[in-house]
A and B are shown apart, each in its own frame.
Chain A
Amino acid sequence: MSEEKAAQSGPGRGYLEEKGWRSWAYTLDHKRIGVMYLFTTLFFFLLGGVFGMLIRLELLTPGPTFFSDQTYNEMFTMHGSMMIFLFIIPGIPSGLGNFLIPLMIGARDVAFPRLNLASYWLFIMGIIVILFSLAHPMDTGWTFYTPYSAKTAASVTVLSFGIFLVGMSSILTGLNFIVTIHQLRATGMSWLRMPLFIWSMYATSIIQVVATPVIGMTFILLAMERLFGIGLFDPDKGGDPLLFQHFFWFYSHPVVYVMILPAMGAISEIIPTFSRKPIFGYKAIAYSSIAIALAGFLVWGHHMFVAGMSVYADVIFSILTFSVAIPTGVKVFNWIATLYKGSISLDSPMLYALTFIFLFIVGGLTGPFLGSLATDVHLTDTYFVVAHFHYTMMGGTVMGLFAGLHYWFPKLTGRMLDERPAKTAWAIIVVGFNITFFTMFITGMQGMPRRFAEYPEKYQAGNVISSIGAAILAFGILVMFYNYVRCMFRGAPAPADPWRGKTLEWTVPSPPPTENFETIPTVTGWPYSYGGKGDGDA
């Protein structure tokens, strides 16, 4: 990277300088919008986490102890919907993505700053509508299967509309990012010189733009089913309840890649920086993101092997599912190969990044049990599935987000995180996470179905262990958030490039000034020229 390091950050507070709520609410600065997304989504992570803990509390005993069955059903629905729609889908893309994309490609802002602000407020409007649905809390699970969702007394219609708005916001953000990445890259930043985080955000945005309209449409149809009884999903009127599941998973499978790809992008930045080595297999990682994004559209049926599709459809979806496993595996191998002969510093971002890889491998290796037809019949809709997706979503995406937050915290706030509490929290989280969720693999193999408010006594031991683990996990997360909050105000001032990273965001002061770059940089190589050579290319 030829760009000389900008001066160490002075006393200025960069883009955070301006004060007052108006300076935030009306801001067109991608960094501020990104920060607002981060606050909003992390709030829902904590709230969703509270519901997760209440679920675990109730599951300490086989019978209804703290909550009635109905309340339990409402709680896992809230937990799942909040985590998915209000935290994990918008979290990394709209939060870190907004903050980092222009900085990483050497731009002053995204392509359409006003649209960007509109997306944020659309997101908030969606949330407000969703809050209205709490009048009759949802009890359908986050999957809204018809005909149950067409019949229940809960406010499905209101909630559908809320999620429709949140989805709109997602589409607009995706569109904005695609145009930004195409149009606003600094001179010299060819496609193969883009940081891998940008590649993964590009793939993510494609999925958001292509898949999200489908869920929007599906929820509109569901609302019409409830309001006007159009009967599209109602067998009594010649409709088909399975059609809903096809629509739903046509969106919701690709969307698991919206959840995981950005985290993979963050990991691909952190691993080389802390190993002082170029990323191994740059092209393989970049292209596999795109491959995953496209192939991800062809495997939705693996959620429906026992739903009553034809056997032939089952077989085709099973084999396609296995073919998506390969590009995912390739990424993991590449990260591990990057470590080889590195000069590895185990600072907190790196610890979380390595944990991401560790847990994601467990999540990934339990996928084939569910992709394989014979075993899926037994395991689907049991706690095995709950364990599997928490390993990928929480062990994967959320650890990736934590890694990213630790890595970019100095850039976001201009202050350093305290390493000691960061590492303590990390250790507690790793222990708590595995106790909570590994146990669920076994409870699932024993046959305990998911979404069970009450369960036969023979499953109690496993559930108690899971609940104890969840308490440990929650404590670790609290320590971590305490560290974030404290260091936001008290942390030591951060230099421009505390980790000696080579992507462009580290060339500007921490926090960056509002216009990002005084002069737009010229790029002469790829951002992974660690070790040996100066400027290289992939």
Chain B
Amino acid sequence: MNQLFDIPGAASKISGEVDSVFLYILLVGLFFFVVTQGALIYFALRYRKKKGEPERETPYITSNRALETIWIVIPSILVLSIFYYGYTVYMKMQAPMPGAQEIGVVAKQWLWEFTYPDGRKAVNELHVQTGKPVGLSMTSEDVIHSLYLPDFRIKQDILPGRYTKMYLLPDRPGEYQIFCAEYCGQGHSLMLGKLIVMDAHEYAEWSGRQAGESQAAMPPARRGEELVKNSGCLGCHTTDGSPRVGPSLKGLFGRRVELSDGSSVTADEDYLKESMTDPGAKVVKGYANVMPTFKGTLSDADITDIISYMKTLK
């Protein structure tokens, strides 16, 4: 059925079970659908009085104890079975997974910030390993968001001032979409992230690379490039001159930028820094004010390195 409707296949064992619950409800539903719609259409046509036909004598039936008992009891039983099946699978989904890798999630308008157990941070991209359970401890900095992974059939709202938890056990390597499923303002539909599931070998290689990068004293522009890659900027900006959600970063440094209030500024260091820490202060003409603030997400040193990188994008 999933293929028929182009629904993403289940990406974990438990999401397969959710699909089974779905299928069960669908079968029960189809049974009632056929019985009720069948009777409705059959009666409407079978007992139809055509134009000009004389009125038929109709029986005076007002109730029928046996029938009414049947149609209360059978649906009640089926509906309770649906409840029970859904309940058992739900309890499994909610159960904490022992030995889960703890990952911190901070949601804010309009990005995801992930913190790995070793303190490394990443924006909008979360790397995990197949077969290793992951526990997400999530909180929000502003309004309510909801982390939704369609392939895993899970979502959980994220509230300010409080932590909510979500567990997953990825089975299949691949890249999976993360959506925000709770309306959170202008950039709600742009609050996209990626869950990257790797097998043990790939994952080890990836973490080694990460660790190496953070130790090696990289030149600032190089480090800035990595930051831009890992902070989710490329979801909205390109480095090749073509506009996306935001203007391209190519050739930005030193250029004159027209703003939405009609004025214009030169894209110097201060302007670029402000663009990242307080993006709403000066909004580029022709673009929506949807860029999230990176204040608190990027340190001053990070920002300086990003600006050095931007200078290289001629």
Which of A's residues lie within 8 Å of B, judged by CB? Answer: 64, 68-70, 73, 139-141, 145, 147-148, 151-152, 235-236, 241-242, 275-284, 306-308, 311, 314-315, 318-319, 322, 325-326, 329-330, 332-333, 336-337, 339-346, 354, 357-358, 361-362, 365-366, 368-369, 371-378, 380-382, 442, 445-447, 449-456, 458, 528, 530-533, 536, 538
**Contact (Cβ within 8 A) B58 A531:** yes
Q: In this assembly, does B253 line the interface, its C-beta being within 8 Å of a C-beta of chain A?
A: no
Interface residues of B in 61-94 (CB under 8 A from A): 61-64, 67-68, 71-72, 75-76, 79-80, 82-83, 85-87, 89-91, 93-94
Question: In the complex, what distance in Å separates the CA atom of A73 from the CA atom of B99?
Answer: 42
Which residues of chain A are within 8 angstroms of B91 by Cβ–Cβ distance?
311
Chain B, residue nearest A333 (CB): B71
**Contact (Cβ within 8 A) B60 A381:** no
Which residues of chain B are within 8 angstroms of A377 by Cβ–Cβ distance?
18, 90, 93, 153-155
Chain A, residue nearest B78 (CB): A368
**Contact (Cβ within 8 A) B59 A341:** yes
The 7 closest A-B pairs by CB, nearest first: A235-B161, A447-B150, A372-B86, A531-B58, A373-B90, A339-B43, A374-B89
Question: In the complex, what distance in Å separates the CA atom of A362 from the CA atom of B29?
Answer: 9
**Contact (Cβ within 8 A) B61 A277:** yes
**Contact (Cβ within 8 A) B63 A283:** yes
**Contact (Cβ within 8 A) B183 A141:** yes
Question: In the complex, what distance in Å separates the CA atom of A192 from the CA atom of B82?
Answer: 35
**Contact (Cβ within 8 A) A277 B58:** yes
Question: In the complex, what distance in Å separates the CA atom of A447 from the CA atom of B192?
Answer: 13
Interface residues of B in 166-219 (CB under 8 A from A): 177, 179-190, 192
**Contact (Cβ within 8 A) A235 B160:** yes
Which residues of chain B are within 8 angstroms of A368 by Cβ–Cβ distance?
25, 28-29, 79, 82
**Contact (Cβ within 8 A) A530 B58:** yes
Which residues of chain A are within 8 angstroms of B80 by Cβ–Cβ distance?
322
Contact among A69, A314, A378, A458 for B187, CB-based, below 8 A: A69
Question: In the complex, what distance in Å separates the CA atom of A450 from the CA atom of B43?
Answer: 38
Known: A375-B21, A532-B60. A343 touches B157 (CB 8 A): no
Question: In the complex, what distance in Å separates the CA atom of A284 from the CA atom of B6?
Answer: 42
Contact among A340, A376, A447 for B179, CB-based, below 8 A: A447
Report the count of interface residues on B (CB-CB < 8 A): 85
Chain A, residue nearest B1 (CB): A445
Could you tell me the distance in whole angstroms from the C-beta of B171 to the nearest C-beta in chain A? 17
Which residues of chain B are within 8 angstroms of A235 by Cβ–Cβ distance?
159-162
Question: In the complex, what distance in Å separates the CA atom of A466 from the CA atom of B162?
Answer: 38
**Contact (Cβ within 8 A) A372 B21:** yes
Contact among B22, B67, B79, B180 for A369, CB-based, below 8 A: B22
**Contact (Cβ within 8 A) A147 B144:** yes
Which residues of chain A are within 8 angstroms of B155 by Cβ–Cβ distance?
306, 377-378, 380-381
Contact among A139, A145, A336, A445 for B186, CB-based, below 8 A: A139
Question: In the complex, what distance in Å separates the CA atom of A235 from the CA atom of B155?
Answer: 22
Interface residues of B in 18-70 (CB under 8 A from A): 18, 21-22, 25-26, 28-29, 32-33, 36-37, 39-40, 43-44, 47-49, 55-64, 67-68
**Contact (Cβ within 8 A) A148 B184:** yes
**Contact (Cβ within 8 A) A358 B83:** no
As a 0/1 sequence over residues 212 to 239 of chain B, the CB contacts with chain A under 8 angstroms (1 = contact) are 0000000000000000000000000000
Known: A342-B58, A532-B59. A381 touches B79 (CB 8 A): no
Could you tell me the distance in whole angstroms from the C-beta of B262 to the nearest C-beta in chain A? 18
Contact among B33, B63, B144, B161 for A282, CB-based, below 8 A: B63
**Contact (Cβ within 8 A) B144 A145:** yes
Given contacts A276-B58, A377-B154, A442-B5, 13 further A-B contacts (CB under 8 A): A69-B288, A281-B63, A284-B68, A308-B157, A337-B61, A340-B43, A345-B48, A361-B37, A362-B33, A365-B33, A372-B21, A374-B86, A447-B177
Known: A281-B63, A322-B80, A325-B75. A374 touches B68 (CB 8 A): no
**Contact (Cβ within 8 A) B87 A325:** no
Chain A, residue nearest B70 (CB): A333
Which residues of chain B are within 8 angstroms of A314 by Cβ–Cβ distance?
90
Question: In the complex, what distance in Å separates the CA atom of A318 from the CA atom of B157?
Answer: 18
Q: What are 30 residue pairs bridging A and B, where the CB atoms are less than 8 Å apart in the complex?
A: A141-B183, A145-B182, A145-B183, A235-B162, A241-B160, A275-B58, A278-B61, A281-B68, A283-B63, A306-B155, A308-B156, A308-B164, A325-B79, A332-B36, A342-B43, A343-B58, A345-B49, A362-B33, A372-B83, A374-B89, A378-B153, A442-B7, A447-B7, A447-B177, A451-B183, A452-B188, A456-B177, A531-B58, A532-B57, A532-B59
**Contact (Cβ within 8 A) A275 B86:** no
Question: In the complex, what distance in Å separates the CA atom of A326 from the CA atom of B39?
Answer: 19
Could you tell me the distance in whole angstroms from the C-beta of A165 to the nearest C-beta in chain B? 26
Q: In this assembly, does B309 line the interface, its C-beta being within 8 Å of a C-beta of chain A?
A: no
Q: In this assembly, does B146 line the interface, its C-beta being within 8 Å of a C-beta of chain A?
A: yes
Could you tell me the distance in whole angstroms from the C-beta of A131 to the nearest C-beta in chain B? 23
Question: In the complex, what distance in Å separates the CA atom of A447 from the CA atom of B147?
Answer: 12
Contact among B8, B79, B177, B180 for A326, CB-based, below 8 A: B79
Which residues of chain A are within 8 angstroms of B60 by Cβ–Cβ distance?
277-278, 530-533, 536
**Contact (Cβ within 8 A) B82 A275:** no
Which residues of chain A are within 8 angstroms of B189 by Cβ–Cβ distance?
69, 449, 451-455
Question: In the complex, what distance in Å separates the CA atom of A35 from the CA atom of B275?
Answer: 56
Question: In the complex, what distance in Å separates the CA atom of A242 from the CA atom of B154?
Answer: 20
Chain B, residue nearest A274 (CB): B49
Contact among A307, A378, A452, A458 for B154, CB-based, below 8 A: A378
Which residues of chain A are within 8 angstroms of B21 by Cβ–Cβ distance?
372, 374-375
**Contact (Cβ within 8 A) B186 A339:** no
Which residues of chain B are within 8 angstroms of A533 by Cβ–Cβ distance?
60
Question: In the complex, what distance in Å separates the CA atom of A64 from the CA atom of B288?
Answer: 10
Could you tell me the distance in whole angstroms from the C-beta of B137 to the nearest C-beta in chain A? 13
Question: In the complex, what distance in Å separates the CA atom of A139 from the CA atom of B300?
Answer: 34
**Contact (Cβ within 8 A) B47 A306:** no
**Contact (Cβ within 8 A) A354 B40:** yes
Q: In this assembly, does B278 line the interface, its C-beta being within 8 Å of a C-beta of chain A?
A: no
Could you tell me the distance in whole angstroms from the C-beta of A482 to the nearest C-beta in chain B? 24
**Contact (Cβ within 8 A) A375 B25:** yes
Which residues of chain B are within 8 angstroms of A346 by Cβ–Cβ distance?
44, 48
Question: In the complex, what distance in Å separates the CA atom of A138 from the CA atom of B207?
Answer: 45
Contact among B68, B82, B144 for A241, CB-based, below 8 A: B144
Which residues of chain A are within 8 angstroms of B55 by Cβ–Cβ distance?
276, 343
Contact among A145, A147, A344 for B43, CB-based, below 8 A: A344
**Contact (Cβ within 8 A) A275 B164:** no
**Contact (Cβ within 8 A) A343 B6:** no
Known: A315-B87, A322-B82, A372-B21. A382 touches B188 (CB 8 A): no
